[in-house]
Amino acid sequence: MAERTLGWPGRCRRLARDYECEAAHAESMIKVAMIRLMAARLAGEDIDPHGPIETEAARRLADDLDNE
């Protein structure tokens, strides 16, 4: 069970590589990805990790973090 849970974020394109310069940014991206994945699982949805919701959310969060 733990291996599968740790593998879920790897399906998100933004988390597939280490793009974040600061640890706080990387931590935030992991939290956003896991919130989306868990919400979809609880709702019984199948989600595409490269879909528009994930990429748009990642872009907006990155913009917000860069503007801090």
Closest CA to 9 of 47, 55, 49: 49
pTM reported for the whole predicted model: 0.50
Amino acid (one-letter) located at 45: E
* pLDDT score recorded for residue 64: 78
* pLDDT score recorded for residue 50: 58
Say how far apart CA 42 and CA 51 lie, in whole Å.
18
* Predicted confidence (pLDDT) per residue in 11-52, tens digit: 666 666 666 677 787 788 778 878 877 887 788 877 665 565
* pLDDT score recorded for residue 34: 80
* Predicted confidence (pLDDT) per residue in 51-62, tens digit: 655 666 677 777
Rounded (10°) angle between helices 52-66 and 23-43 = 150
Q: What is the DSSP letter of 22?
A: S
Q: What are the structural domain ranges in the chain? A: 2-66
Say how far apart CA 9 and CA 47 lie, in whole Å.
12
